[in-house]
Amino acid sequence: MKIRLLITFLTLISSISFSQRKITGIVYSKQGNEIENLAGAKIQELGTDNFTNSNIDGTYTIITLFDTCTLNYSFVGFADKNVKIESDTIIDIKLPIWNYRTNWFTIGTNYDLINSYFGFSFSNGFDEQPLIHFEEFSSDFMYKISGQTNFRNDYSYNAQLACNYPIRWFYIISMEYSKTNFTSINFDYRNVCLATDITIPRIYTGLLIKFGYQELNNNNNFGFQVGLEKVICKTDIGFLYGYYFDYSVYKLYLQRFIYKHFISLRFDYEKINSFDFLNCGIHFSINRTKLNE
């Protein structure tokens, strides 16, 4: 009986020894051309309590409990990596700095309640950006393409391109071009402008300034617009006043997410000379986060 127990025990020990794997290597990071070995990185066999830490020079050795398993490499401030193990081997692991970039894509639709025009827009979160935390909106350039029509002869289109955080205090610098031909209300309009959003310190309010050129029913005008923008109670609110020598321009808008960062409502009122426009719209935003290595 004792002999049988001894044979069983030796067989079990042999089986366990056979199932183990020995993994060695270095855990390091790389920034530009500089390589840094990471001391204290954690290497753990997933699904078990078996782990070790890298030495002061970044080297490590771990004996796995199973012949096929997955090792998780982690270190504070860096993104984890998982590696599947099937044999004894040497593995040098580069951990990327915890640096994620979120890309946004927004589809919007709107309706002009005064003039009965349907509209659409495509952007990478151009209008939603003030409502999104800076860590969740990492685009350096923003764009928006939009248009309206009554599905007959009337149409409008608009294109905006902006640079995010170009220099201190200048929050956004953007260029805009728009063309509108609404024959039903005798409105022929073209607009080209350069705009900047200056952050006012301490009160976190944006000062909006626009300089541009407009054509309104064959009258050419240069002018400017000034306004304020601020997020109040999770609602982005802005107001603009402009003067183009022969007429004035007013604009008031507000936007708010109503479901997470996916669905938002936007309202725009604009008065150009004697023409009024009141748009109500809904935007659908999709975001995708990826790791920058």
> pLDDT, tens digit, for every residue of 221-279?
999 999 999 999 999 999 999 999 889 999 999 999 999 999 999 999 999 999 999 99
Say how many domains are in the chain: 2
Residues 108 and 55 in one domain: no
d(CA 293, CA 291): 6
Let me know if 227 is exposed, middle or buried by CB neighbors in 10 A (0-12, 13-18, 19+): buried
How many angstroms separate the CA atoms of 66 and 50, rounded? 11
Verify that 130 and 200 share a domain, yes or no. yes
Q: What is the pLDDT of residue 168?
A: 61
Do 81 and 136 reside in the same domain of the chain? no
Domain boundary pick from 36, 68, 94: 94
For residue range 51-84, what is the model confidence (pLDDT) as tens digits? Answer: 999 999 999 999 999 989 999 999 988 888 999 9
Residue 50 CA to residue 62 CA, distance in Å, equals 8
In this prediction, residue 78 carries a pLDDT of: 85
pLDDT score for 55? 95
- Asked if 36 and 126 sit in the same domain, the reply is no
CB 23 within 8 A of CB 48: no
Q: What six digits make up the tokens of 90?
A: 């040497």
Work out the average pLDDT over 5-33: 69
- Residue 131 contacts residue 234 (beta carbons within 8 Å): yes
- The predicted model scores a pTM of 0.69
Instruction: Identify the pLDDT of residue 285.
Output: 96
Residue 239: CATH number of its domain: 2.40.160.40
Do 149 and 82 belong to one domain?
A: no
pLDDT of residue 166: 58
Query: Which of 94, 127, 151 is the last residue before a domain boundary?
Result: 94
Strands 219-232, 205-216: parallel, antiparallel or unpaired by DSSP? Answer: antiparallel
Average pLDDT, the chain: 88
3-class DSSP assignment, residue 75: coil
Q: Higher-confidence residue: 30 or 125?
A: 125
Residue 272 and residue 168 share a domain: yes
**For a pLDDT cut of 90, what percent of the chain falls above it?**
68
- Domain end residue (candidates: 50, 71, 94): 94
